[in-house]
Structures are given as C-alpha cells and as structure tokens.
Amino acid sequence: MSTDHDLIRELSQMNDGTDTMAALRARLGVAADRDGVLDIAYRIIDSPVGPLLVAATERGLVRVAYAREDHDAVLQQLADKISPRILRAPTRLDAVTRELDEYFAGTRRTFDITLDWRLSAGFRSTVLHHLPEIGYGHTASYAAVAQLAGNPKAVRAVGTACATNPLPVVVPCHRVVRSDGAMGGYLGGVEAKRILLDLEDAA
C-alpha cells in the first residue's frame, strides 16, 4: 500500500499555493480520515465576520477561530493540547459549514452540531454551557450570566470565560453585554460582535 506515502512525497515536491497542491492536501486528508490517523480536521470558511477556522475531532466541533486569533497559532495550540495529527480535511466539517452558512444567512437560530468541549474546564466550562440559554436575538449581562452559572459574584470570571471561548458564534458569547447595555469586549473584535447581534436582530 503506497498511497499515503506517495501522497506525502508528492506534497513535499509541490510548490505551495497551486491547485494541484490543494487537491493533494484534500486527498491526504481523506486518506488520513479513512485510515483513522486524523485526530483533528480543519477548514477555513468565509463569513460576514471574516474567515473562520473550524476544527473538529471525532467527538465533534472543537474550535472556531477568528482571523485575528492567528489561525496558524490556533492550529499549533490544537496540536499541542490535543494531537499533532491535524490536517485540512474539509469533508469532516461539511455539516458544521452548512449550519454556519445557514446561521449567517439568517435561516438558522440554533446549532445542532455535536461539540467537543475539552478546551474549556471548570467554571469557564459551566459559563459556556449556559450561554445557549440566551435566546437568539436576545442579550444578557455578565452579571445575569454569572447568576445563571450559579455564582452571582463571578462577573469577571464570566468575562474571562467569554474572552477564552473556544467555540465563538456556535456558543454565543457575543450575546453577553455589559449591564449598562454597552457592547463590552469580544474575542472576534467589537465590530464582529456588532455584526452578529445586528444579524440576529434583523432576522
């Protein structure tokens, strides 16, 4: 069986950025997934808030990353924290891409995809698990989310959980705002937060 080794050798001999290179990478990703040696698959999708990196393990979607987070750095973090066996393999993320496209088109209000929560733990994980309770088109204050998470005094910790959310958009930390109604910070940038809230309000 020479297919995978031949693919790897072909990849090393090609110049980056060519159509052939992209096709070979796709074939390698499919082969790795088929053979059970692909721990993390990823792809980049276009969106109204810029290019998003989406990555999935066999457990489910594990990461959504804005360009400002530095996609290369995000991939390195995934390799360090989960597994170095990571490749661009878009097929595993077809359902994720479809649901995100529907969300950005205003035709989807909740996500049905399975999530891999391993990049969040402790109180941060508790906060993130409560965020979907903030309905589409609505917002909640950091204080209200702290109450939901069972620790009314942990307002700053809620802010930290939102700022380190590994699954933005899908786990809607953009719906958390300040008590005075101000936008507050957002890991994708304030403009991205505004776009998402305006999109939901318009829908």
- Judged against a pLDDT cut of 60, whether residue 1 lies above it is answered with no
pLDDT digits (tens, 9 = 90+) for 81-119: 999 999 999 899 999 999 999 999 999 999 999 999 999
Hunting for tokens 């995000």 — which residue is that?
74
Angle between helices 3-13 and 19-34 (to 10 degrees): 150
- What is 4-105's CATH topology? Double Stranded RNA Binding Domain (3.30.160)
pLDDT digits (tens, 9 = 90+) for 46-65: 999 999 999 999 999 999 99
Nearest-10 Cα torsion for 129, 131, 134, 139: 170
Q: How many whole angstroms separate alpha carbon 129 and alpha carbon 117? A: 9
What CATH number is given for 122-202 in this structure?
1.10.10.10
DSSP annotation of 129 reads H
Hey, what are 151's tokens?
A: 């620790």
Q: What is the mean pLDDT of the chain?
A: 88
Look up 173 and say whether it is catalytic.
Answer: yes
- Choose between 179 and 47: higher pLDDT: 47
Q: How many whole angstroms separate alpha carbon 196 and alpha carbon 49? A: 8
What residue ranges do the domains of the chain occupy? 4-105, 122-202
Domains 4-105 and 122-202 share a fold: no
pLDDT band at 202 (very low <50, low <70, confident <90, very high): confident
DSSP annotation of 196 reads H
Catalytic residue among 7, 40, 53, 173: 173
pLDDT digits (tens, 9 = 90+) for 117-131: 999 999 999 999 999
